[in-house]
Amino acid sequence: MKKSILNRFLKYVQIDTQSDEDSQTFPSTKKQFDLAYHLEKELKQLGLKNVDVDTYGYVTATLPSNTDKKIPTIGFLAHMDTAPDMSGENVKPQVFENYNGKNIPINTDLDICLSVKEFPELKNYIGQTIITASGKTLLGADDKAGIAEIMTAMEYLGKHPEIKHGTIKVAFTPDEEVGKGVDFFDVKKFGADYAYTVDGGPIGELEYENFNAASAKIKIQGRNIHPGYAKDKMINAILIATEINEMLPKNERPELTENYEGFFHITKLNGTVEEAEIQYIIRDHDKSKFENKKAFIQNIVESINKKYNQPITGIEIKDQYYNMREKIEPVMHIVEKAKQAMIEVGVKPEIKPVRGGTDGARLSYMGLPCPNIFTGGHNYHGKYEYAVLESMEKSVQVILRIIENSARTD
């Protein structure tokens, strides 16, 4: 099984599927279709039915039930796109077998390594297989590891018809990384009673809580005057941008928060004296704290306009997704199914809130309850990203055990 997972994963990560947060199309980049059509072909070869890539780039397929028993239809989803944070072009994966517990040289020319001091969890994987990129791109384990795991599970079921199962639905989505992954996803057509996103991190992660999320874009109109004659006339948009940022609580930044603590995260700052723009993401698990954060940044902008006695700043706040806990709690048995499956295959469940979001968060509000399970990846969205092959194998085993147990107990 490990060889099958590895071969798939190495193939998928070399297909560039980076999404674009500034695009107005859906999917945001046409190149995501390259992987979509590859998966379509592979799903057909595996014998799945109703395999389709629609105009939006959604890949869907069905593994029909092989029993007369009435069993709920279970879905498994992963996303095809990789994050805009770092290039996904020309990914050159590296496989480090039988990891020895020391620093892993990702790129000796650039002096980039996975340092045990900086990433002490590496010690958990001594003797296992670590996969990295070259230090020049991200790896793409988020979420091509999840895709490889779902595909391998479907392949295994096809080769083992003695394993009884109900109808299984599979979907691979575009644009998750830019918060649009299920904008056009047809939950009713998909036809699952409940589902799991395979989009978590290290082995054991099981999540049914996530951030409430919003984006904020602040535009600042300054006034550029020759600096020699600027007294009482110039309004420097760059300085106002830094003033706004300093007015946000300094202890509510991503690098200073953990667990259930929310944050304001500045993601982009562009500007000249004449005009500037700041972009933030706003996150909190607690709905009331989330609303307060949005109001807080709105009040900052209004206070700047009041200070300068003119409308030089404007803000656009958009909600992106909400905490799925509200929708999962009434059907907690699906979380218990995943938890039990992990225990049975020798994985210790680590139930924790997602400090981010998944397609499953929005799907849960669209009527498809959808907790999240681990893929075996670490350090997503950057050059230090890596995946652990043995953890990926365990993820496949968890998927299979969820399916097997459902056929026995439902």
Active site residues: 81, 176
135: region left, alpha or beta (phi > 0 left; psi from -120 to 50 alpha): left
Q: What is the DSSP string of 75-142?
A: EEEEE--B-TTS--TT---EEE-S--SS-EEEETTTTEEE-TTT-GGGGGGTTS-EEE--SSS---HH
CB–CB of 134/75 below 8 Å? no
Q: Tokens 């306009």 identify what position?
A: 305
- For 60, 224, 337, the CA distances from 156, given in Å and listed in that order, are 18, 65, 20
Q: Rounded to whole angstroms, how far apart are CA atoms 382 and 358?
A: 18
394, 400, 404, 406: CA torsion to nearest 10? 100
Q: Please list, in sequence order, all residues whose beta carbon lies within 8 angstroms of the beta carbon of residue 55, skipping any fewer than 6 positions away.
A: none
